[in-house]
Structure 1
Amino acid sequence: MFFKIFIFLLFFIQSSYAHELRPAIANLNIYEEDNITNATLSIRLNLEAIIAEVDINHSNTKESKQSDQYESLRNMSAVELLEKFNSKIINLQNKIYLTSTNSNYNLVLLNIDIPEVGNTNVARDTIIDFDIKNIKDEDLKFSWDKNLGSIILRVNSPNNEDLYSKLIETGKKSDWFNPKNKKEVDFFDNIRSYTHLGFKHIIPKGLDHILFVLALFLLTPKIKPLLLQVSIFTLAHTITLFLGVLNLIKIPSIIVEPIIALSICFIAIENLFTENIKKTRPYIIFIFGLLHGLGFAGILNEIGISDGLFISSLISFNVGVELGQISVIFLSYVFIALLFQKRLWYRNKVTRPLSLIIASIGL
């Protein structure tokens, strides 16, 4: 019965799959021309989400009230989407700011590259290029409109050296950086930054990972079996996080992300049919943990890690992820297990209904 229901639900995953709202990525490429410093700014973003005004506080498009409009835009041709963009978004360059203490640099739109429709189960990345002339040898800050969400900024020198890299949170500005000199990153600031990034990828942005951990918790909130499951999950995703960031394993997100959704459904539906941890469950959790780790690695690969602080950044991110998971378990234990786990009706009125809700959200 369990596998019949699970296979039946798999048919819905492909059609209802949501696109994760990831940060835009901006590459500020410095170049010299006639002894004058200029730059091109190339931004990779989800144009459909911007046009539909999808709420940036959501973790994926399905959570938004504008999800239907987003799906409609996602099915438009490149020409149709460009027309929609031009009619709704006026002067995007005026919402992007490159400033110094004394200057506000003007951005000139060069090109908008929108791919054709392709596989609609994958978010379409549009690339918008701008030109910036006559940049002075002075410290700069970068930001963009708060309604556009977070953005990863990478500053590259003429010889392709990484001068600066930073995830800029919604409504925030970058640190000061110089277009000609590499910015040295403080070791402890870097640890704090990547720990916060890992934590945030669970709470509040990691709905899929939160649901998976909750599904593990609901089967049995007792400490020993819960720690066993979470430890196996942690070991597995740590392995693929490291291997993925080192580019030793590469699996396209079109494969990884739907299987993560599948993992949530599998564990949650299994909760409906068993009261104890089966012998196969730890192995299943380990396999799904490997896939979740690849999802974490995808985030870090987009942001990039400084070579000099590679290991500390990777460990800090993983610590942040673990702190997020522990927080989910702690809150669940306080507000669910301590109050209800000894009740005779706990399984029928807590485990099963909540597992069913988690499975439906996972779809």
Structure 2
Amino acid sequence: MPAVRYLRYVLPAALLLLPGLASAHVLDADLSKLSRTDVFLTYLKLGFTHILPLGFDHVLFVLSLYLLEPRLKPVLWQATAFTVAHSITLGLAMYGVVSPPPTLVEPLIALSILFVAIENIVVERLNPWRVVVVFGFGLLHGLGFAGALTSLGLPRAMFVESLVAFNVGVELGQVAVILLAWVLVGRWAADKPWYKRRVLVPTSVAIGLLAAYWTIERLS
């Protein structure tokens, strides 16, 4: 089955090569000259690009959540928990209520990806308690989003609106990842008896190896 061979070998290899394609955020617009609508759209775009293509670690986390049960409905509960959680910490961080150092947050984000990748390999099915775990990891990833947004800054006159726009952009990016995964994998492979052996396990191994590398790199 050519499609299965593609997913088994090419997809994990691509996951290991893609991080080199990301680049840093750039805010190349003079916000003082933009309308309120344009400022909102600017931060909406920044939020989206923080996931696609720049947020490769966040993409792998969302992809890992999806792959264990490759249908749209199960991942919605996890995505909702993740959204609520990262919205909380993103808002708290931008208002200065919490400010953990990136040297702590970034390795923990990598560890969260490694945890989910390993879980995908060892468990037989999606467990209800995973929603609670995802909520906890969402709090952590929200701090990572805050780090990127802090470096960009928020206009004082539209602080709340820009914060909301960035968060909505992040969500749109995550939804795009889920829908793409569904089109490429879940739509036709979810019910196949070989799915875990030929798709889930090799892809999760590749994600786990990359997450382990990130953890060590971010601790050094």
TM-score (norm 2): 0.83
Which of these residues, 170, 192, 196, is aligned with residue 45 of structure 2?
196
Deviation of the 1:270 alpha carbon:
0.3
* Consecutive aligned runs of 4 or more in structure 1 exceeding 6 Å deviation: none
Per-residue deviation, residues 125-174 of structure 1 (Å, max 9, x unmatched): xxxxxxxxxxxxxxxxxxxxxxxx765xxxxxxxxxxxxxxx12xxxxx5
Which of these residues, 327, 330, 339, is aligned with residue 176 of structure 2?
327
Per-residue deviation, residues 181-236 of structure 1 (Å, max 9, x unmatched): xx354111011100000000000000000000000001101222211111111111
Give, in whole Å, the separation in 2 of the partners of 1:204 and 1:288.
21
Give, in whole Å, the separation in 1 of the partners of 2:90 and 2:203.
29
Contact 2:72 2:182 in 1 (8 A): no
Deviation of the 1:309 alpha carbon:
0.4
Give, in whole Å, the separation in 1 of the partners of 2:70 and 2:83.
17
Contact 2:65 2:78 in 1 (8 A): yes
Tell me if 1:293 matches 2:149.
no
Tell me if 1:227 matches 2:76.
yes
Give, in whole Å, the separation in 1 of the partners of 2:168 and 2:152.
17
Give, in whole Å, the separation in 2 of the partners of 1:340 and 1:299.
35
Give, in whole Å, the separation in 1 of the partners of 2:196 and 2:25.
41
Residue aligning to 1:267? 116
Give, in whole Å, the separation in 2 of the partners of 1:249 and 1:293.
11
TM-score (norm 1): 0.51
Q: Which amino acid aligns with 1:58?
A: A
Which of these residues, 207, 211, 217, is aligned with residue 362 of structure 1?
211
**Which runs of 5 or more residues in structure 2 are unaligned?**
1-18, 213-220
Q: Which amino acid aligns with 1:262?
A: L
Q: Which amino acid aligns with 1:200?
A: T
Per-residue deviation, residues 299-351 of structure 1 (Å, max 9, x unmatched): 11111111210111011101110110000000100010112112111111111
Residue aligning to 2:35? 186
Give, in whole Å, the separation in 1 of the partners of 2:134 and 2:120.
13
Residue aligning to 1:239? 88
**Which runs of 5 or more residues in structure 1 are unaligned?**
1-20, 22-54, 60-148, 152-166, 169-173, 178-182
Give, in whole Å, the separation in 2 of the partners of 1:196 and 1:358.
26
Give, in whole Å, the separation in 2 of the partners of 1:150 and 1:256.
19
Residue aligning to 1:255? 104
The structure richer in helix per residue is 2
Tell me if 1:347 matches 2:199.
no
Q: Which has the higher contact order (CA 8 A, sep 6+)?
A: 2
Which of these residues, 257, 261, 280, is aligned with residue 129 of structure 2?
280
For the residue of structure 1 that corresponds to 2:193, the secondary structure is: coil
Cα RMSD over matched residues? Answer: 1.8
Tell me if 1:58 matches 2:22.
yes
Give, in whole Å, the separation in 2 of the partners of 1:150 and 1:242.
19
Matches within 5 A, 1:145-156: 151=26
Residue aligning to 2:186? 337
Length, aligned pairs only: 194
Identity between Structure 1 and Structure 2 (%): 44
Give, in whole Å, the separation in 1 of the partners of 2:54 and 2:199.
25
For the residue of structure 2 that corresponds to 1:210, the secondary structure is: helix
In structure 2, do the counterparts of structure 1 residues 325 and 150 end up closer, same or farther at CA, with 3 Å as the change threshold?
Answer: closer
Residue aligning to 1:68? none
Q: Which amino acid aligns with 2:172?
A: L
Per-residue deviation, residues 260-309 of structure 1 (Å, max 9, x unmatched): 00000000100111122224311211111101000111111111111210
Give, in whole Å, the separation in 1 of the partners of 2:153 and 2:34.
13
Matches within 5 A, 1:46-195: 57-59=21-23, 151=26, 167-168=27-28, 174-175=29-30, 183-195=32-44
Tell me if 1:209 matches 2:58.
yes
